[in-house]
């Protein structure tokens, strides 16, 4: 049975998280936490080995200046399957994970056999995490069993790799569809076998469709995660991706997570930002708090 969503109430509640007052010390802690939750991503046709290696260097050491205490590394680097091996070598021993988009990213329209092969090859190359896309056409056409079976098969193909399920919420049209897709994705992943905390995420977007992540959409997905936790005691992860560009926005999202799911989810093992452009603004704010002055944009490498 579909969970009904009161769109007006969701939008009002999401907006309320942007009006919280945050003290300077808490803001600094929040920005450091946000930095540790970022998945640095490059998903362009012109991606090269050197571009991936450069991104990995930034992932390990987001800023090369001196700051006390040292800044954390980001959570992961996300690349196409063909570049997983390059990223794996570059990140060896760093603690930064390698994520790979697979399953016919970004459309999810490829034959299932091709998508599963995509996953298998990425995992064999060393991917710690797989970011899959659901077939939105099938979902919007009401072929829910088909979508669920594909998610189940992808999770099986992941083996020990963690799975992030991209709903591409900008194409789902309504918040009720977002909630239905969230519930379906979680249950389908669980049908492949028991889920450990953080082993499965639901993710808003590929970053290729507008709108991408929004606070109302993310709130609906967080509520689905809370419902599943209430029912099973299992913590599903959450990843808003695309459109989160400022440090201030990242703090709004962290407030929403804290007040919706609690402190347990305030960790990179359960919450991520898919927002490479966010990185430099977070760094800029942290350096300003440390030095008392703003740095120029060129003081930071491209994310």
Q: Which residues are catalytic?
A: 131, 203, 239
147: helix, strand or coil:
helix
| Burial (Cβ within 10 Å: 0-12, 13-18, ≥19) of residue 208 | middle
CA atoms within 13 A on the CB side of 213: 28
Sheet holding 39-41, edge to edge: 39-41, 76-79, 97-101, 129-133, 162-166, 200-203, 237-239
Residue-wise DSSP of 223-291 = HHHHHHHHHH----EEE-BSS--SHHHHHHHHHHHHHHT-GGG-STTTB-BB-HHHHHHHHHHHHHHHH
Q: Which two tokens stand for residue 270?
A: 């359960």
């Amino acid at each position: 049975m579909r969970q009904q969503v009161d769109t007006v109430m969701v939008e009002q509640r999401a907006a309320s998280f942007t009006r919280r007052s945050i003290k300077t010390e808490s803001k600094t802690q929040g920005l450091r936490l946000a930095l540790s939750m970022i998945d640095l991503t490059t998903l362009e046709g012109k991606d090269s080995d050197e571009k991936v290696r450069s991104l990995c260097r930034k992932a390990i050491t987001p800023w090369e200046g001196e700051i006390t205490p040292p800044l954390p590394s980001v959570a992961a680097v996300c690349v196409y399957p063909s570049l997983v091996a390059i990223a794996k070598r570059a990140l060896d021993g760093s603690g930064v994970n390698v994520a790979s988009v697979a399953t016919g990213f970004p459309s999810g329209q490829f034959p299932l056999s091709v998508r599963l092969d995509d996953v298998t090859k990425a995992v064999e190359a060393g991917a710690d995490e797989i970011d899959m896309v659901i077939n939105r056409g099938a979902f919007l056409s009401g072929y829910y069993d088909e979508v669920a079976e594909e998610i189940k098969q992808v999770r099986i193909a992941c083996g020990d790799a963690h799975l992030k399920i991209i709903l591409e919420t900008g194409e789902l049209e309504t918040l009720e569809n977002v909630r239905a897709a969230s519930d379906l994705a979680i249950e389908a992943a669980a049908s492949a076998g028991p889920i450990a905390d953080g082993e499965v995420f639901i993710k808003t977007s590929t970053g290729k469709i507008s709108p991408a992540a929004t606070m109302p959409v993310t709130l609906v997905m967080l509520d689905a995660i809370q419902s599943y936790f209430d029912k099973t005691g299992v913590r599903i992860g959450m990843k808003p991706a695309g459109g989160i560009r400022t440090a201030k926005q990242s703090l709004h999202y962290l407030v929403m997570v804290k007040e919706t799911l609690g402190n347990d989810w305030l960790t990179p093992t359960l919450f991520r930002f898919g927002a490479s452009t966010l990185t430099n603004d977070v760094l800029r704010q942290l350096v300003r708090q440390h030095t008392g002055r703003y740095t120029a944009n060129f003081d930071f490498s491209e994310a």
